[in-house]
Amino acid sequence: MPTARFQIGDTVMGRWPGSNLYYEVKVLSYDNKTLLYTVIYKDGTELELKESDITSLTVFKQGGRSRSRSRSRSPGRPRRSRSRSPARTPRRSSSRTTDVRKEKLKEVLEVRLTPVPLTHENNSNSRHEKKEENNTASAVTEEKTETESENQAGGRYNLRHRKDQGDGKTVELEQKTETAVLSQTKPPTAIKTTDLEFGGRVGVFFLMFLLPVAVLALLILCGQKDASLQSFPLELPALQSLWDWQVFGIVLLWLLFQAVLSLLPFGKLVEGMPLKNGKTLKYRINGVYALLLTAVAVGVAVYQEVDLSYIHAHFLQFYTSALLIVTLLSVYLFVRSRWASQDELAPGGNSGYVIYDFFMGRELNPRIKNFDIKFFCEMRPGLLGWVLINFAMLQAEMKHQNLENPSPAMLLVNIFQLLWVVDGFWHEEKLLTMMDIVYDGFGFMLTFGDLAFVPFTFTCQAYYLVSHPSELSVFWIITLITMNGVGYYIFRKANSQKFVFRKNPSDPAVSHLKTIPTATGKSLIVSGLWGWLRHPNYLGDIFMGLAWSLPCGFNHLIPYFYLIYLITLLVHRNARDDRQCRKKYGSAWEEYCKAVPYRIFPGIY
């Protein structure tokens, strides 16, 4: 009769199926027939493990000590990324900061899985470690269902989530875990960036010139009577016609006005995602107030008979002014990043190549005291500038076409896009969890995107309509409203569902959804919109983008620029996110991809 080596109630280290990671588990029972131990992980996941996959705690502690003694880092070798998985145990470190961080995160980590890689892992390179770290088994959970999965070694593992047992206490544990994940997930450590995007140094060098020139070309075409690509003027506009100091002054005033609004002490102060040093930054969420105050200021200006069509008449000059500010700001950001500590660097903008890092952005959250430059630029001057420019185009249309009222096409474009911007401000807080804020550095790409690309290309439909009238039938108007409504519904529902789920998976609004657990303690939604597509929110956005372009008719391709940009960006973003999720969630992500094969478009893998 076989005897159990470990006793019920023992705390031991259990291997996570299919990986070399060990987590602290408690032995719940031992089955003499199958020779399997039932163990429970700290996040409530129960598994049946073979004895060979269980090791006593002391063995690990000894192994850990000898490891830390023997590990010597050569100066050239990048620091290992530890924060990729939120479930990692902070190890012994000589640094006092790490100890402080350990203390701060202790409470959170108590409800997390605590993986400890096998000793031989130290012989492998860091890329391999990352892969192993996230290689986890997973199962689709549903009320009262279980999925059995075979691990790579052929052993039997029985995955069960405690939620399935209808145990209220456990749901609370899961809720605590997920909440902790939302508020405590750390961005990856700023090790040297080796995976270069956008074609590396050469790619970004060309992009840096190509993007501003492409936008200029788009604006030139959009303002021409014949906006077809073949009619692009062979003679470029004279340089002096592209510059106006007064316009430059107006752009500076606009930025200053928005900066002042963003510093007003209205709205709540919220904490962003934790940084590598365990600290969190505070953000003032007052976008809705800024929107309202800007609307009042514009209303007063119009009442005072300020002619907003000036913006239309000087559109190219506004663009070049914005471009100069983008360039100066990017240089400032790059220079100041020299004084940023390792902790403050973005994982994607630290390659050591000046051009690449300048483009991608070295610093993650550049701030002047409490003023967060990235958060400000991402939401305020560009998005509000877009709405203001749209409104100016509406006035210009009435003036140029001698209309008493704006055309239905112009009204639709204005209203649809205003709705999207208002929605963005209403949900401003959610931006704090997005990759742009959490992972991306603030360099030329985002500065240009936020301050030049958004206000000058997203307005391209309204700009086009000023000199290209478009008749819309009632049927067409209803179709476009429906299309925008459906797109908005999918976009909003998917984004909100994910946000609420990440905050509290037991929230009644999302508790009915089926999920796939992952070793990080977070789960992935696998039903509803997120069970239909891997990025339902992108599809909603694309529907809206289509509804914004169609009012301009089919005479030219130019008004479809936004749609083409959006699809390209979202396809690229999907690939990027897919890579990150595969690293983060390992086989759980594979499982999700199998369960939900379509990415953005139904029927297209």
Query: Where on the chain is the footprint of ligand LWLCTGZJ (CB under 6 A)?
Result: 211, 378-379, 383, 423-424, 431, 434, 436, 445, 448-450, 453-454
Which CB sits closer to ligand LWLCTGZJ, 347 or 361?
361
User: Quick check: 438 binds ligand NDP (CB under 6 A)?
Assistant: no
State the minimum distance, in angstroms, from the CB of residue 26 to ligand NDP: 27
User: Quick check: 390 binds ligand NDP (CB under 6 A)?
Assistant: no
Helical segments of 19-95, H only: 57-70
**Residue 502 partner contact from ligand NDP, ligand LWLCTGZJ, none using kind-dependent CB cut-offs of 5 to 8 Å:** ligand NDP
**Residue 211 partner contact from ligand NDP, ligand LWLCTGZJ, none using kind-dependent CB cut-offs of 5 to 8 Å:** ligand LWLCTGZJ
Instruction: Figure out which of the listed residues 530, 548, 560, 561 binds ligand NDP, where binding follows CB under 6 A.
Output: 530
What's the CA gap between 605 and 600, in Å, rounded?
8
- Close Cβ partners of 427 (under 8 Å, ≥ 6 residues apart): 495, 496, 499
Which CB sits closer to ligand NDP, 407 or 495?
495
What's the CA gap between 391 and 312, in Å, rounded?
10
What's the CA gap between 163 and 44, in Å, rounded?
8
**Residue 589 partner contact from ligand NDP, ligand LWLCTGZJ, none using kind-dependent CB cut-offs of 5 to 8 Å:** none
Other Cβ atoms less than 10 A from the Cβ of 470: the count is: 21
φ/ψ (deg, to 5) at 326: -60, -45
User: Quick check: 522 binds ligand NDP (CB under 6 A)?
Assistant: yes
Which CB sits closer to ligand LWLCTGZJ, 132 or 428?
428
**Residue 78 partner contact from ligand LWLCTGZJ, ligand NDP, none using kind-dependent CB cut-offs of 5 to 8 Å:** none
Helical segments of 224-314, H only: 245-263, 287-303, 309-313
| Cβ atoms 227, 221 nearer than 8 A | yes
Place of tokens 């689709």: 140
Which CB sits closer to ligand LWLCTGZJ, 191 or 383?
383
User: Quick check: 573 binds ligand NDP (CB under 6 A)?
Assistant: yes
User: Quick check: 491 binds ligand NDP (CB under 6 A)?
Assistant: yes
Which CB sits closer to ligand LWLCTGZJ, 448 or 589?
448
Binding-site size, ligand NDP (CB under 6 A): 22
Which CB sits closer to ligand NDP, 276 or 535?
535
The secondary structure of 325-350 as a DSSP string is HHHHHHHHHHHHGGGS-GGGB-TTS-
What's the CA gap between 12 and 61, in Å, rounded?
11
Burial annotation 472-494 (CB, 10 A radius, 16+ → b, else e):
beeebeeebeebbeebbebbeeb
| Candidate ranges 18-26, 316-324, 348-356, 575-583; the one touching ligand NDP (CB under 6 A) | 575-583
State the minimum distance, in angstroms, from the CB of residue 133 to ligand LWLCTGZJ: 28
Which CB sits closer to ligand LWLCTGZJ, 318 or 425?
425
| Contact pattern for ligand NDP over residues 552 through 571, marking x by CB under 6 A | --------------x--xx-
Tell me the pairing of strands 371-372 and 515-517.
Answer: unpaired
User: Quick check: 495 binds ligand NDP (CB under 6 A)?
Assistant: yes
User: Quick check: 524 binds ligand NDP (CB under 6 A)?
Assistant: yes
Q: What is the DSSP letter of 455?
A: H
CA angle 206, 207, 213 (to 5 degrees): 95
Instruction: Figure out which of the listed residues 535, 556, 583, 599 binds ligand NDP, where binding follows CB under 6 A.
Output: 535
State the minimum distance, in angstroms, from the CB of residue 454 to ligand NDP: 7
User: Quick check: 525 binds ligand NDP (CB under 6 A)?
Assistant: yes
What's the CA gap between 344 and 199, in Å, rounded?
25
State the minimum distance, in angstroms, from the CB of residue 546 to ligand NDP: 13
Burial annotation 192-216 (CB, 10 A radius, 16+ → b, else e):
ebeebbbeebebbbebbeebbeebb
User: Quick check: 141 binds ligand NDP (CB under 6 A)?
Assistant: no
Which CB sits closer to ligand NDP, 49 or 87?
87
State the minimum distance, in angstroms, from the CB of residue 379 to ligand LWLCTGZJ: 6
State the minimum distance, in angstroms, from the CB of residue 294 to ligand NDP: 20
- Close Cβ partners of 498 (under 8 Å, ≥ 6 residues apart): 525, 530, 537
CA atoms within a 13 Å half-sphere pointing along the CA-CB vector of 299 = 6
φ/ψ (deg, to 5) at 271: -90, 135
What's the CA gap between 47 and 41, in Å, rounded?
8
What's the CA gap between 88 and 114, in Å, rounded?
6
What's the CA gap between 160 and 172, in Å, rounded?
16
Which CB sits closer to ligand LWLCTGZJ, 307 or 436?
436
**Residue 537 partner contact from ligand NDP, ligand LWLCTGZJ, none using kind-dependent CB cut-offs of 5 to 8 Å:** ligand NDP
Which CB sits closer to ligand NDP, 151 or 459?
459
- Residue 138 Cα to chain centre, angstroms: 24
What residue ranges bind ligand NDP (CB under 6 A)?
434-435, 491, 495, 498, 501-502, 522, 524-525, 530, 535, 537-538, 541, 566, 569-570, 573, 577, 580-581
